Structures are given as structure tokens and as C-alpha cells.
Amino acid sequence: MTRNSLPAMTAMSQLACFRIEGDPHEMGRRLGELARPQFDAYMAQSSAWRRLRRWHGHPFVAALRAAALTAFPQYVAELDGMAHGLGWSADDLFIWNCRGELIHRTGDGCTTVAVATASHRAIAHNEDGDPYLLGPGHCFLVDAKPSGRPGFVSFCYPGSLPGHTFAVTRAGLAQTINNVRIVETVPGIPRMILARAVLDADSLDAALSLLRATPSASGFHHTLGCAGDSRIVSVEVTARRSSMIEVHGLYGHANHLVHPEQASEAQIVTASSRDRQARLAQLLPREQSDVNEEALLPMLRDRAPEGLPIYRDDPRDPDGENTLATALLRIEDNGVAMRVHRSGHSVFERFVERSFMS
């Protein structure tokens, strides 16, 4: 097999989609049940979890939970339901979902590219994470219908809230998330809870207002678009501020803050993130007026002639991450067409109609 040839479809390539619905606790319980067969083994091999266990009972964790309960009790209930479904303690699962606040050099990498022109709007995203999750059934999609909210289709890690990977909602929102390794954390809203809250927003403006107004405990990079809205927006959130840049033409983002407004923010920039951001700058064409969404996927499959690649499948990756899935989200007037690839194969396609209006 040559370096650029594609492997045959295998069980590791496949991706199941499960429907879940109900109130927050019931939604979480079902998410926990779906993850339970693989969760204990996943956590047993996780170096991140070994580092996180020392936070059990820490006052900072209690402050994070108190802030989350005050602002978003429904997502704490979702986490508690997930813990019930997994057979884990609610405290331990909350700590796991605060890993970005408690250890600065976490995995969950990712690369996002987007196009916004007069005729094309799309977001494409490599979801990079623990290579263990490439195993069959270790990650999955959910088609979620929470009571009274728009509902969404999201890529899920076992034991983690939906929202921190890539997702499309029935309000027409498309969201992808990139980890940024921010040094300063405060007792605010954990970033994974804030990313989950975006999935319940009923418009792009509502999502941006949420990210602007909510005091985050750390931060993420969000790329957001919405059916019926011409904008795609790059949002860098930290504990100090949120910075928003509207995309014009092509745009790319790896795993560190790049907005000028965030220049003073203390962060960790890994060699992989630095190389991927630099490679994106090389790949983005100078003439962007006629670029469409199909130009995005080759960038995310790029292996780079030198340096660390955008598409990550090296078991010796210095960040300990591999590309788990690639999503192409084509934003139209009445919904979002979602296509997911694994190991070079299309494994899921769905048009998520914009059916929830505020």
C-alpha cells in the first residue's frame, strides 16, 4: 500500500448513530449506557485520567460544579445521568468533563477549515484524539432530541458531553471545536459545558451571545455557521475574553490561539499545532472567490512533505493523537448537509433540516 492509498473498509472505519431523547437526566443516562461497554477500558489506559484523579474532592472542582449548576443545571443533570448509565460516580465523571480546566496539556487536538463566499458556506473538521478511540464502537454519533430544544446530530466520545467535537442542530447551527491549551483557568463555566450549551441555541446570534456573555473557566476555539445566515464565525474563547472573526473566503485553525486580540494570552503551542497551522497557511489558495467545499477535504487529508501533518495516523504522534473522523458540514438555506469520513471512507451522510425556529 502506498503512503496515500486508502485502506479497505473495516469495522474500525464504521460509525454507528444512535437516537436519544428525553429530559436531561434521561439523555445523559442513555449516553452513559451507549458508552458503558468500552468506558472502563478506555479510562484504564488514559494517561489524562491518571493525572486527573488527584483532583477528586478539590475545592476548585467544587467551584466549577457550583458555577455550572448556577448557570446550566440541565447539563450538570445530563452529566449526572451519564454517570448513572456508566456506573461511575458523578464526581469522577464531572472531573473527566473538566479535563481542559484541570490539566493544560490535554489531547483532543483537531484542525478546522472553512469556506464562506457568495455561493459556498461549509466547515470541515478533523477530530483528533486518543488513538484508542479508533477501536470499533469506541466513538459514535447521536441523533439527540432533548425535551423542548432543537436537537442535534453530534460525534461523541464515551463519557463526554456532546458538543466538544462536531455537531449540527435542528436550529440550523453547525459547530466544530478545536482544543486550545490555555494556561489561565478560573472558577467559571467548564468549556465542555459551554460547548454543549451552544447546541441548544436557536440561532447563530444566540450562540455568539452565549459565548460572549458566559464566564468561561478556560476556553476552546469554536467555528460556527447557521442555515439561512451568510456568516461563518471563528470564535476564540478564554477565561479572560472571547474574540470573534467573521470568515471571508477560506480560513483554517489548529490548536492554539491566533486571533490578534488574544496575543497576550498565555498558552501552550505544541509542535503539531504549530506545524498544522503553518501548513494550512501554505495550502490556502490566494485566489478564493470560486473555491467550494470540496476543496476543504484534501487539506484535512494532507500529510505534509515536512513537519508534522494535518492528517494524523502516526502511532508515535508527539501529542498522542490520531485523526478519529473527518466531518464536512455544508451549510444551506434550509439546513446542513453532514458527511463524516473515517480512514478515508464516507461512513455517514445526513441532511439535518432546519426545523426548529425561535
CATH of the domain at 223: 3.60.60.10
Q: How many CB atoms lie within 10 A of CB 113?
A: 28
Buried b (16+ CB within 10 A) or exposed e, 218-250: bbbbbbbbbbebebbbbbbbbbbebbbbebeeb
- Does some domain include residue 273? yes
Beta bridge partners of 169: 152
CA dist 107 and 317 (Å) reads 11
Of 262, 161, 273, 164, residue with least CA distance to 220 = 164
End-to-end CA distance of the chain: 51
Strand order in the sheet with 335-342: 249-253, 111-116, 121-129, 322-331, 335-342, 345-353
Residues of the chain with pLDDT under 70: 1-12, 105-108, 287-289, 358
Q: Which helix (H) or strand (E) holds 326?
A: strand 322-331
- Does some domain include residue 243? yes
Which residues, including other chains, have CB under 8 Å from residue 21's CB and lie 6 or more apart? 27, 144, 145, 146, 147
Q: Residue 344's pLDDT is what?
A: 85
Cα 165-35-22 angle, rounded to 5 deg:
80
- Does some domain include residue 204? yes
What grid cell was written down for 148? Answer: 423542548
- Does some domain include residue 259? yes
CA dist 197 and 209 (Å) reads 12
Residue pointed to by grid coordinates 489506559: 45
Query: Count of domains in the chain?
Result: 1
- Does some domain include residue 94? no
Of 20, 30, 39, 37, residue with least CA distance to 97 = 39
Q: What is the DSSP letter of 244?
A: E
Beta bridge partners of 177: 222
Phi, psi (5° rounding) for residue 225?
A: -145, 170
Q: What's the pTM value of the predicted model, to 2 decimals? A: 0.95
- Does some domain include residue 84? no
What grid cell was written down for 144? Answer: 439527540
Quote the domain boundaries for residue 121.
107-353
Convert 130-184 into a string of H (helix), E (strand) and C (coil): CHHHHCCCCCEEEEEEECCCCCEEEEECCCCCCCCCEEEECCCEEEEEEECEECC
- Does some domain include residue 170? yes
The runs of H, that is alpha helices, within the chain are 24-44, 47-52, 59-71, 73-86, 90-96, 99-102, 191-198, 204-213, 271-283, 296-300
Residue 269, Cα to own-chain centre: how many angstroms? 18
Q: What is the DSSP letter of 271?
A: H
- Does some domain include residue 332? yes
Task: Report helix, strand or coil for 335.
Answer: strand
What grid cell was written down for 245? Answer: 472573526
Of 240, 242, 216, residue with least CA distance to 67 = 216
Cα torsion at 64, 213, 209, 255 (round to 10°)?
-60
